[in-house]
């Protein structure tokens, strides 16, 4: 039996599926993976993405942070791909209980997924650091320089930057969903970013599935490994 048929069979036989995804789910919607440092970044910016997207850099070089953020992180016209749509469909059918994502683009919700745990926050939520007033992503995109609140405070995206901790409530919910799942599908992530990647260790079942273009540290523990594009593979289910 080929791997896609096996995947289909495993999904059909499961009623408590959890999906854990990373940047590979979004790149197929045209959202760049900022961790793969390409020549473009070096031409336009004096620092690598990991430095720009750190708490220290945000506080010290806020204007340069926002130049990168607007150019690279606010891809508001991106549309959900076949992977997002299939996951939303599986949730609507009652099979999938939660999507746990490292992405910040809101595409799972755009596709119709309801129970989405955003480990690294979302570009769609932005708050004044002084009075906590809420601003949407469109406001951020249209702003210039350092976006300011009407109270004069600086607005910060509700995105977990390097050096910042993950939200404990979101983490504990993710642990609960993963530990109770009868099937865990890991997709579009190389599983190298911690602490998020460590969550998959809470899975206790025997249907650990990895769908990714490249090898991951979990492959040797997985019950099924499907190499390739997650949109193409889930689109066939």
Q: How far apart are CA 61 and CA 236, in angstroms?
A: 45
Q: How far apart are CA 176 and CA 189, in angstroms?
A: 20
Does residue 212 sit in helix, strand or coil?
strand
Q: How far apart are CA 85 and CA 235, in angstroms?
A: 8
Closest CA to 175 of 202, 197, 213, 157: 202
| Residue 120 falls in the annotated catalytic set | yes
Read off the DSSP letter of residue 165.
P
Q: How far is CA 169 from CA 41, 155, 172, 194, 207, in A?
A: 34, 23, 5, 17, 26
Q: Answer yes or no: are the C-beta atoms of 52 and 64 closer than 8 Å.
A: yes
Q: Which of the following is catalytic: 84, 108, 120, 124?
A: 120
Residues with a catalytic annotation lie at 120
């Amino acid at each position: 039996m080929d791997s896609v048929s096996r995947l289909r069979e495993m999904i059909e036989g499961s009623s408590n599926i959890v999906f854990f995804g990373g940047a590979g789910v979004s790149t197929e919607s045209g959202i760049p993976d900022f961790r793969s440092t390409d020549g473009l970044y070096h031409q336009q910016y004096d620092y690598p993405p990991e430095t720009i997207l750190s708490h220290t850099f945000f506080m010290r070089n806020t204007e340069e942070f926002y130049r990168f953020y607007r150019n690279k992180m606010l891809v508001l016209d991106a549309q959900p791909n076949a992977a997002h749509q299939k996951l939303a469909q599986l949730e609507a059918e009652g099979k999938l209980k939660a999507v746990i994502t490292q992405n910040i683009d809101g595409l799972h919700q755009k596709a119709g997924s309801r129970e989405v745990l955003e480990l690294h926050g979302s570009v769609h939520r932005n708050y004044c650091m002084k009075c906590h007033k809420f601003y949407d992503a469109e406001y951020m995109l249209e702003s210039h320089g350092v976006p300011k609140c009407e109270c004069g405070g600086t607005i910060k995206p509700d995105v977990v930057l390097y050096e910042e901790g993950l939200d404990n409530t979101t983490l504990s919910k993710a642990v609960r969903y993963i530990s109770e799942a009868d099937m865990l599908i890991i997709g579009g992530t190389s599983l190298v970013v911690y602490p998020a990647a460590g969550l998959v260790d809470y899975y206790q079942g025997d249907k650990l599935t990895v769908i990714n273009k490249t090898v991951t540290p979990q492959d040797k523990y997985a019950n099924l490994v499907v190499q390739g594009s997650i949109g193409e593979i889930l689109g066939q289910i």
